[in-house]
């Protein structure tokens, strides 16, 4: 979205919370990307991460990237397919392939 300060920003979040029979009752899986584009300086920033709690309270990062966006920032991505397969995603390339519907 345009913030009105010569800057566009946005984000993608795919989040899953499922019941678990482990010590901690829920498993969380998160794939997220935040991006910002400054028109005046022609600068782009992005942060991407795949995280999960793996049976405890704390989230652990499985893969991350800073700088250039991992997922396309303009256009369409298949969020439904990404969310349906979120438990098996551990690497950014898997997320890219699912989001692109490959």
Q: What is the pLDDT along the chain (102 residues), one digit of tens a residue?
A: 556 677 788 899 999 988 877 677 788 999 999 998 887 777 788 999 999 997 777 899 999 999 988 998 877 889 999 999 999 999 999 999 999 976
* Nearest one of 94, 66, 69 to 82, comparing CA atoms: 94
Angstrom distances, CA of residue 96 to CA of 15, 26, 48, 101: 16, 26, 11, 8
pLDDT in tens, 12-39: 999 998 887 767 778 899 999 999 888 7
How many Å apart are CA 51 and CA 35, to the nearest integer? 18
Sign of the Cα torsion 21, 22, 25, 28 reads negative
């Amino acid at each position: 979205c345009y913030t009105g300060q010569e800057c566009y920003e946005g984000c993608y979040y795919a989040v899953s919370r499922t019941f678990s029979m482990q010590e901690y009752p829920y498993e969380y899986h998160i794939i997220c990307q935040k991006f910002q584009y400054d028109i005046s300086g022609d600068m782009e920033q992005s942060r991407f991460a795949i995280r999960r709690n793996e049976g405890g309270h704390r989230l652990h990062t499985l893969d991350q990237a800073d700088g250039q966006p991992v997922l396309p920032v303009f256009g369409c991505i298949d969020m439904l397919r990404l969310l349906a397969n979120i438990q098996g995603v551990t690497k950014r390339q898997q997320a890219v392939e699912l989001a692109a519907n490959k």
